[in-house]
Structure 1
Amino acid sequence: MLDFIKDDKEKIGDNLRKIRERKKLTQEKLAQIMDVDPQTVYRMESGKYSAETFLAAIYALKVDFEEVLPSRYKHLNEKKNKKDEVIYEIEQLPESKQKFVWDTASVAVDYIKAK
């Protein structure tokens, strides 16, 4: 396995532990919510987990996927947030101006594709 992926799994496990502790849950209580053995939670927090265990933990802890990612992935969410901000601002415009912005953007995209 690539070393940085192993490190990321360990960081994610550590982030899951911090979230569990912040929510004042013991490993045993989280295991009960996840319907797994407490040893599974221990291994998960040590970076040894399957995709199923990871998804069960996110669901049980009621957190967003991005919240548990290592900091080097945070920029992915920032790009998404910037896009959401722009769309929100456009949606606040009167309908006629929204149409102008979307039509202009569409023409720009067609132009770029043609180049």
Structure 2
Amino acid sequence: MDLGDQLKKLFPDHQSEEPDQKPTEATGLWISDEPLICRYEKRKGKPITIISGYDGNKQDFKDLTRQIQQLLGVGGSHKQEEIIIQGDYRDRIMDFLKDLGFKVKRVGG
């Protein structure tokens, strides 16, 4: 008997609210209803791709960053709720995120 069953026994009249986010079965990441923002910038003359708007937990955020880095074979980091990938890989990143079930919005050029 898991925790959910025990709570149902204690509180049979309680109606649980469904979370806004749903985990995907393939990756275990939380998928939000709001789209992820994918944009391109140049910092110190070097191109970078920035992905923002992910509101899952911190470990899922790190896992998503790692998956994107491994897919592209490039460096990157995650800072202040943004994933920063070295290079202009917007199209490949957007296709990858759509395959995972995310909604993605391209911003800028």
* Structure richer in helix, relative to its length: 1
Q: Which has the higher contact order (CA 8 A, sep 6+)?
A: 2
In our comparison, the structure showing a higher alpha carbon Rg is: 1
After TM superposition, the score normalised by the length of structure 1 is 0.28
